[in-house]
Amino acid sequence: MSITQTRIVPDAVSFFVPRTGNVTDIVSDAFGEEVFPITIKDIAREASCSVSTVSRVISGHPDVSPNTRERVQALIRLHNFSPNNNAQRLKQQESRTIGIIVKGTSNALFASLIEHLQTHIEQAACTAAVVYLDEEGDELQAALQFCRETHPCGLFFLGSNRGAFMQHFSEITVPSVLLTVSAEGMFFPNLSSVCIDDAAGAEAAMEFLLDHGHRNIAVIGGSLSSSDASRVRFSGCCRCLERHGLSFEKQGRYETARFSLSSSYRAMGRLLDSFPQLTAVLCMSDLMAIGAMRAIFDRGLRTPDNISVIGFDGIELSRYCIPKLTTVLQNAEQIASRGMALLLEAISGRDGAVYETVPFTIVEGESVRQIPLLTPSDAV
C-alpha cells in the first residue's frame, strides 16, 4: 500500500498579505482593527515545522515524530485552533463560489468525489458550481472562462491532463487543487493535488493477477497519449511484469477505450477476437471492468471461470455487480476531504503548493480466480 506523502514547493508566493510576528498580531484595515482567525500557517510558524506536518498531525497520520506531534498539539490547544477556522476566513472573500471542473461525464468515481466535495463546500458556507466536459474537452479553457464569468475563490480539477496544465495553467491565479492526478513537478504555487499512487495501484493489481496464476493478461485503458492516469497506470503494470521477468506486447493486448461501459464492452470484444489465450484482463476503471464482464458474458463465457477481471476505483457499483468486482479502491471521501482542506488552507494564505498521496486498497471480490501456474513456455 502507498503511504501518504506531502511535499511543499519552495519559494512560492502567498495569496494574502503575510502576517508578521506572532499569531495574535492585529491586522489593520481601512475600517479599524480586526484580529484574524488563526490559520494552519500560524501554527506551523510557531511550531517551526511545515504546514504539511501540521496537517498530518491534525489528520492523525503516523508519519510525524513524537516531539513534533506534541509541540503542534500543544499549540493547537493553546490557541484553540480548529481547521474549521479556515472556513471562517472564506466568509471574508468577495466570492464564495468554488468551481469543480470535471473532465469526463461517465466517470463514476468523479460522481462520488463531486458528492463529497459538495458536502464539504456547503459546510464551509460556500457555493459549488460544477462544469462538465467530455473526456477530450479543454479543461483549462473551461476554467479560464469560468473564472472570467464567476470570479471563484477556488477551483477543483477532476480528470485533468498534465500536459495541458503545463502549457496554460499559469493564466489561472486562484487557489486550485487537482484531484486523482498529481501536480508534483509542475511547480505552480497555486496548484496543489491529492491522489493515490496510480503506478503503485496498477502494479498491485497486476501482482494480484500474477499471484493467482495468470500470465496471459490483457489491459483495457484510456489513450496512452492523452490520459495521464492510463499512462501512469500502464507504467505500473509494465514495472510489475518486468520484475517477474515477463514482457507485455501492446499490440493485441492493450485495448484503448473511453472510461465508459459501452466503450469497454467493445474493447473487450476486440480482445476476445485477437487474444484467444486470454485468462485475465486488468481494466483501468470499474466501469470499464463491468462493461468488459458483460462482453464476456455475451460471448457465452463467464467471469471468473473463463476470464478473470480486475478493476480500478472501488466505486459503489463494484460491490453490487455479479460477480462482485475485485478492484483497486480509491477512497473518494478521503480524497475529497483532503482536497478541501488544502484548498481552504490556500485560500487562508498558505504559501506554496502541497502534493498529497493517499493510500489505496486492493478489495478482493469474486471476479478473479486462482488458476494453475503456467510455465514460462505456456505463457504467450
Q: What is the mean pLDDT of residues 284-305?
A: 97
Show the cell assigned to 193.
493535488
The pLDDT confidence band at residue 22, using thresholds 50, 70 and 90, is: very low
27 lies in a domain? no
pLDDT reported for residue 89 = 52
What is the count of structural domains for the chain?
1
Three-class SS state of 225: coil
The pLDDT confidence band at residue 137, using thresholds 50, 70 and 90, is: confident
Residue 287, pLDDT above cutoff 70:
yes
Can you list the alpha helix ranges (DSSP code H) found in the chain? 40-47, 51-59, 66-78, 85-90, 108-123, 139-150, 162-168, 198-211, 228-243, 261-274, 286-298, 332-347
Give the CA-trace dihedral at 47, 353, 8, 90, to 10 degrees: 10
Q: In the beta sheet, which residues pair with residue 310?
A: 282, 326
Show the cell assigned to 76.
493547537
Q: What share of the chain is helix, strand, coil (3-state, %, to 5)?
A: 40, 20, 40
Per-residue CA distances from 246 to 171, 206, 210 (Å): 44, 12, 10
Can you list the alpha helix ranges (DSSP code H) found in 191-227? 198-211
Residue 35, pLDDT above cutoff 70:
no
251 lies in a domain? yes
Q: Each residue of 49-81: pLDDT tens digit?
A: 887 788 778 877 777 898 999 999 898 888 878
**E strand or H helix at 310:** strand 308-313
Q: What is the CATH number of the domain that holds 291?
A: 3.40.50.2300
351 lies in a domain? no
Cβ partners under 8 Å of residue 205, min gap 6: 237, 282, 310, 312, 328, 362
Provide the mean pLDDT of the chain: 85
Q: Where are any strands of DSSP class E within 319-377?
A: 326-330, 354-357, 360-363
289 lies in a domain? yes
Neighbours of 149 (CB within 10 A): 9
pLDDT reported for residue 10 = 31
92 lies in a domain? no
Longest dimension (CA), the chain: 81
Range of the domain at 229: 198-330
pTM: 0.74
261 lies in a domain? yes
Residue 370, pLDDT above cutoff 60:
yes
Q: Each residue of 88-126: pLDDT tens digit?
A: 555 545 578 999 999 988 889 999 999 999 999 999 989
Show the cell assigned to 49.
515545522
Q: Each residue of 230-251: pLDDT tens digit?
A: 999 999 999 999 999 998 988 8
**DSSP assignment letter at 187:** -
204 lies in a domain? yes
Q: What percent of the chain has pLDDT over 90?
A: 63
How far is 128 from 29, CA to CA, in rounded Å?
Answer: 29
Count Cβ neighbours within 10 Å for each residue of 265-298 and write b for 16 or more, e otherwise: bebbbbbbeebeebbbbbbbbbbbbbbbbbbbee
What separation, in Å, do the N-terminal and C-terminal C-alpha atoms of the chain show?
A: 29
